[in-house]
A and B are shown apart, each in its own frame.
Chain A
Amino acid sequence: GAGVSQSPSNKVTEKGKDVELRCDPISGHTALYWYRQSLGQGLEFLIYFQGNSAPDKSGLPSDRFSAERTGGSVSTLTIQRTQQEDSAVYLCASSLVISGSPSTDTQYFGPGTRLTVL
């Protein structure tokens, strides 16, 4: 079946503009995750959704970052008033929580959105 998809693949924006990044998880996956990968770094966890709820938003770096998930499927990560330090690859992952605990389930990643803030 289809994997995790993300759009756009690349986004260039000007400092101060708002951007929206989209993630389509694997069909039937109830858990969805956003990560950020800055140049030369590993992945940094941002937020986790179980269904439409986000039990933990503590990874979001500032109040300019928000995310929502509708219908237990598509998720949008919004960055308001973008700054140059927001430039990174934003990766989305999903997993099928079959055991009641997301920690036992493998996360499958999308190809990411490369965000460049000029």
Chain B
Amino acid sequence: AQTVTQSQPEMSVQEAETVTLSCTYDTSESDYYLFWYKQPPSRQMILVIRQEAYKQQNATENRFSVNFQKAAKSFSLKISDSQLGDAAMYFCAYRVNSGYALNFGKGTSLLVTP
């Protein structure tokens, strides 16, 4: 079975601080893509960042960066300079190169306090 584990159901961070959301996954495939999606109360899933498994360099998108450890099958998301608008559910997901379905974790609810 292919699974994604997000061990932190809820996280809290103060505005302007940094927070890291953890994610581990399990797949027997060697070629795959990893994603972090954000889901605000509007329900729309918004892509935050994407990582190709064959790339050793960690992806970054402005205040968002990942720590990808392929051997450990770990893919954490770091949010720097947190803003109130970052408050949302964050989902980690992957898709194998031979497939098309995204496999999601159960999500981490991020609260940002002033």
Contact = CB atoms under 8 A, between A and B. Distances in A.
A89 B32 CA distance: 27
Interface stretch (A64-72, A75-83, A97-105): A97-105
B84 interface: no
Contacts of A1: none
Contacts of B93: 42-43
B79 to A, nearest CB: 20
Nearest to B109: A40
A42 B33 CA distance: 18
A33 B101 contact: yes
Interface string A16-51: 000000000000000101010000111111001000
Q: Identify the interface centre among B33, B37, B100: most chain A CB within 10 Å of its CB.
A: B100
Interface string B84-99: 0000000101011111
A107 interface: yes
A106 B37 CA distance: 11
A43 B35 CA distance: 13
A42 B50 contact: no
Given A43-B91, A103-B96, A110 B44 contact: yes
A103 B44 contact: no
Contacts of A111: 42-44
B75 to A, nearest CB: 14
A103 B95 contact: yes
Nearest to B42: A111
Given A42-B4, A109-B45, A31 B100 contact: yes
Nearest to A89: B43
Contacts of B35: 106
Interface of B: 4, 32-33, 35, 37, 42-47, 50, 91, 93, 95-107
Given A42-B4, A103-B32, 10 more contacts: A42-B105, A43-B91, A43-B102, A56-B101, A102-B100, A103-B97, A104-B97, A106-B47, A109-B44, A111-B42
